[in-house]
Amino acid sequence: MIKEIAVEPEVMATWSHFREIWDDCGVSRGRLICEYPSQWCDLVIKKARESSSTKASSIESKLKPGPGNPKSNKLIKTNRNYDPGKDWLNNAEKHEPPNAFDAVIARKKPRDNNRVLVAGEFDKGQSPWKTETGLEITRSTADLVKCARLLLNVSSELVLVDPNFDAYEPRFRDPFAALAQIRPDAKPWKRFELHVEHPHTKGRPDVQILQNRVHYMKQYMPPLVPTGTKLKVFFWQGKAAGKRLHPRFILTELGGLQPDYGLDEGQNEQDKTIISLLSETVWQSTWADYCETSQTFTLGKDCLVEIAGTG
């Protein structure tokens, strides 16, 4: 659902190409630019300056924002090897599935490789550039992970939102575990949160059910959370005339996805849901809604639970 794009430094150093590619990338567009090789940003800036481009400073400000400015959420780091004895395109092409780039944007295409696109000449409406920002998938752990894998692999913060999440039910625990453990070597999360709704009975907060939910969280969740990670579980109440706790989200510091039906598995293969990439604006507002200092929802007494991972 989200593609990893490699762009030749000389291509990205050309303002017309830079502007076109940059505007088409980001989680909301379904494309992330890989910094390949690791010093890719410096190479692009160097090439832009060497060409005496009047836009070299604009390119630099996008790739390497100054102090006080947020880092771009369109760029991701690579863990791929790079042979300095070969040219950039040969390096980019050598990576095969499942470690291949989804698309490679270069100045030329000397070999028959469907993943390689010539800058300024390819059809944006065709694969491998074309992306889908919304998909119908089965309500299965496998399909959910497939949609979220790249985003979670390159993120350090994960916020899951499902008002109806019930730790007692395996249909919730199994997808949760797969998402929690998706990072290479189950690397600890810098921030890991689960946001659910405070249980109600006849329209009023039910403390007894809350205590049961908290008990099951503490009983079942530790082995699902990577060792070294602390999971924070929030039981929120909506404010009068405010937003309802209804939508489900998979959020990271780079962007987010919205599975329409929820983060639980369905009953069979015919059970489907729609999953969509969040626009930049919606992601930013949702990211602000679901945090410890949220101004949108109310966190009552004993409604924040911390769980140390043992997985």
pTM of the predicted model as reported, rounded to 2 decimal places = 0.95
- Candidate from 10-19, 47-56, 88-97, 234-243 with smallest mean pLDDT: 47-56
CATH class of the region 134-308: alpha beta
Is residue 186 scored above 80 in pLDDT? no
The pLDDT value recorded for residue 221 is 98
Distance CA 165, CA 263 (A): 8
Is residue 185 scored above 80 in pLDDT? no
DSSP codes, the chain: --EEEEE-HHHHTSHHHHHHHHHT-BGGGTEEEEE-STTHHHHHHHHHHHTT-TTHHHHHHHHS--TTSPPPSSEEE------TTS-HHHHHHH--TTSS-SEEEES---S--TTEEETTTS-TTSTTT---SEEEEESSHHHHHHHHHHHHHT-SEEEEE-TT--TT-HHHHHHHHHHHT-SGGGPPPSEEEEEEEPPEETTEE-HHHHHHHHHHHHHHSGGGSPTT-EEEEEEEEEPTTS--S---EEE-SS-EEEESS-SS--SSTT-EEEEEEPPHHHHHHHHHHSSTT-SSEEEEEEEEEEEE---
pLDDT: which is higher, 184 or 230: 230
Tokens (6 digits) for 105 = 């944007």
Is residue 184 scored above 90 in pLDDT? no
Is residue 157 scored above 90 in pLDDT? yes
pLDDT band at residue 56 using 50, 70 and 90 as cut-offs: very high
Mean per-residue pLDDT for 260-273?
94
Is residue 203 scored above 90 in pLDDT? no
The pLDDT value recorded for residue 17 is 96
pLDDT band at residue 79 using 50, 70 and 90 as cut-offs: confident
Nearest-CA neighbor of 29 among 215, 220, 196, 277?
A: 277
Tokens (6 digits) for 98 = 């499942």
The pLDDT value recorded for residue 106 is 98
| Per-chain mean pLDDT for the chain | 95
Mean per-residue pLDDT for 200-210?
92
